[in-house]
Amino acid sequence: METFILQTLNGLDKGSAYALIALGLTLIFGTLGVVNFAHGALFMIGAFCAVTLSRILTLSYIVVDESKTDFLGNPLKVDVPYVFDIFGQSTGEAIIDWAVPLAIIFSIPIMIAIGWIMERGLIKHFYKRPHADQILVTFGLAIVLQEIIKYYYGANPIPTPAPEAFSGSFDFGALIGFDANTIIYPYWRIVYFIFAAVIIGAVFAFLQFTTFGMVVRAGMADRETVGMLGINIDRRFTIMFGLAAAVAGLAGVMYTPIVSPNYHMGMDFLVLSFVVVVVGGMGSLPGAVLAGFLLGILESFASMREVLELVPGINQIIIYLVAIVILLTRPRGLMGRKGVMED
Partner 1 sequence: MTKSTFTRRGALKTSAIAGAGVAMPTIFTGSSAAAFTNEPAGSSVTLGFNVPQTGPYADEGADELRAYELAVEHLNGGGDGGMMNTFSSKALQGNGILGKKVEYVTGDTQTKSDAARASAKSMIEKDGAVMITGGSSSGVAVAVQALCQEAGVIFMAGLTHSNDTTGKDKKANGFRHFFNSYMSGAALAPILGANYGTDRKAYHLTADYNWGYTTEEAVRTSTEAMGWETVAAVKTPLTQTDFSSYVAPVLQSGADVLVLNHYGGNMVNSLTSAVQFGLREKEANGKNFEIVVPLYSRLMARGAGANVKGIFGSTNWHWSLPDEGTQAFVRSFGTKYGFPPSQAAHTCYVQALLYADAVERAGSFNPCAVGEALEGFEFDGMGNGKTLYRAEDHQCFKDVLVVKGKENPTSEFDLLEIVEITPVSQVTYDASIFGGELGACNPGA
Q: Assess 210 for contact with partner 1 (CB under 8 A).
A: no
Residue 169 and residue 218: Cα distance in Å, rounded?
A: 45
Q: Assess 260 for contact with partner 1 (CB under 8 A).
A: yes
Interface segment toward partner 1; rule CB under 8 A; list 93-101, 127-135, 212-220, 302-310:
302-310
Among 134, 300, 323, 332, contact with partner 1 (rule: CB under 8 A): 300
Per-residue x/- mask for partner 1, residues 211 to 230, rule CB under 8 A?
--------------------
> What residues numbered 188-207 form the site for partner 1, per CB under 8 A?
188-189
Q: Are 15 and 295 in contact (CB under 8 A)?
A: yes
Among 86, 155, 165, 194, contact with partner 1 (rule: CB under 8 A): 155
> What residues numbered 135-154 form the site for partner 1, per CB under 8 A?
150, 154
Q: Assess 281 for contact with partner 1 (CB under 8 A).
A: no
Residue 156 and residue 282: Cα distance in Å, rounded?
A: 35
Q: Assess 274 for contact with partner 1 (CB under 8 A).
A: no
Minimum separation from the CB atom of position 156 to partner 1 (A):
5
Residue 218 and residue 55: Cα distance in Å, rounded?
A: 43
Q: Among residues 195 and 237, whose Cβ is nearest to partner 1?
A: 195
> What residues numbered 39-98 form the site for partner 1, per CB under 8 A?
68, 70-72, 76
Among 315, 327, 331, 334, contact with partner 1 (rule: CB under 8 A): 315
> Which residues does residue 75 pair with via DSSP β-bridges, in sequence order?
69
Among 94, 116, 122, 182, contact with partner 1 (rule: CB under 8 A): 182
Q: Among residues 184 and 340, whose Cβ is nearest to partner 1?
A: 184
Q: Among residues 109 and 154, whose Cβ is nearest to partner 1?
A: 154
Minimum separation from the CB atom of position 288 to partner 1 (A):
19
Q: Among residues 64 and 214, whose Cβ is nearest to partner 1?
A: 64
Q: Assess 101 for contact with partner 1 (CB under 8 A).
A: no
In the complex, the residues that contact partner 1 under the rule CB under 8 A are 2-3, 6-7, 9-11, 13-14, 68, 70-72, 76, 150, 154-159, 161, 167-169, 181-182, 184-186, 188-189, 257-260, 262, 264-265, 268, 299-301, 303-305, 308, 315-316
